[in-house]
Amino acid sequence: AQKVTQAQTEISVVEKEDVTLDCVYETRDTTYYLFWYKQPPSGELVFLIRRNSFDEQNEISGRYSWNFQKSTSSFNFTITASQVVDSAVYFCVGGTSYGKLTFGQGTILTVHP
Amino acid sequence: ETGVTQSPTHLIKTRGQQVTLRCSSQSGHNTVSWYQQALGQGPQFIFQYYREEENGRGNFPPRFSGLQFPNYSSELNVNALELDDSALYLCASSGGYLADYEQYFGPGTRLTVT
């Protein structure tokens, strides 16, 4: 069984601040995938990033960056220079090789102007 | 927009009734997954269909059933509705069942059971 734990229930920041969302993924699988999804108030889930378990290279994509450490099962996500439009619920998601996704409880991010 | 559509948008049913939710997958996608999202929670995997066959199921009772059609659209059926079935039901389509394929989510159907 897979388990996804998101450390923060809610985060509130002021625009232009950097914000990091923490996630721990527990699984017995040796091959797995990690994702971050965003759910704005409209409700539709939006894919942000994906990382597989055998690639620990950290990356930056625009204002998004992520840090995957297999030894601690952590997969943290950072938004640089946050904007009001970033306000949403962010889900850390673990996936098996066969596409079954397990979602965390979500972190509500509010960015104030 | 992802190209995944769901109908209806909202639905109100009475406990004990049956409901059918529909999902049209993105063009070229052969896999549809269904998720239940209770208020304030993360989505939970119900089941997945790949080329018209069920290809994995989460911890949901048999009264949750589904179908996938030759055009890869899909239905989720729930019998004997319970109050706890009130939730947002999301479908996601992908080009295959492996995790290499990104899942594109529809806007969801909000089901209220009274």
How far off is chain B from A104, nearest CA to CA, in Å? Answer: 6
Residues in chain B: 114
Q: Which residues are B28's β-sheet partners?
A: none
Query: Tell me, what's the pLDDT at A12?
Result: 97
Return per-residue pLDDT of chain A as tens, 113 residues: 789 999 999 999 999 999 999 999 998 888 888 999 999 988 889 989 888 887 776 777 789 998 888 888 899 999 999 999 999 999 999 988 777 889 999 999 999 99
Instruction: Check CB contact under 8 Å for A100 and B98.
Output: no
Instruction: Check CB contact under 8 Å for A101 and B55.
Output: no
Q: How far apart are CA A106 and CA B42, in angstroms?
A: 6
A63 near B CB under 8 A: no
Query: Tell me, what's the pLDDT at A106?
Result: 96
Is pLDDT at B108 greater than 90 in this prediction?
A: yes
Query: Tell me, what's the pLDDT at A71?
Result: 86
What Å distances lie between residue A104 and A23, B30, B46, B80, CA to CA?
Answer: 8, 26, 15, 28
A3 near B CB under 8 A: no
The predicted-structure confidence for B41-69, as pLDDT tens digits, reads as follows 999 999 999 999 998 899 999 999 999 99
Chain B residue with Cα closest to A34: B99
What Å distances lie between residue B106 and A46, A48, A82, B5, B26, CA to CA?
Answer: 10, 15, 26, 5, 9
Q: Enter the DSSP assignment of B80.
A: S
Q: B interface toward A at CB cutoff 8 Å?
A: 2, 31, 33, 35, 41-45, 48, 55-56, 58, 88, 90, 92, 94, 96-99, 101-108
Confidence of residue B39 (pLDDT cuts 50, 70, 90): very high
Query: Tell me, what's the pLDDT at A61?
Result: 79
- In the A/B pair of chains, how many CB contacts fall below 8 A? 65
Q: How far apart are CA B8 and CA B21, in angstroms?
A: 7
The predicted-structure confidence for B4-19, as pLDDT tens digits, reads as follows 999 999 999 999 999 9
How far off is chain A from B41, nearest CA to CA, in Å? Answer: 5
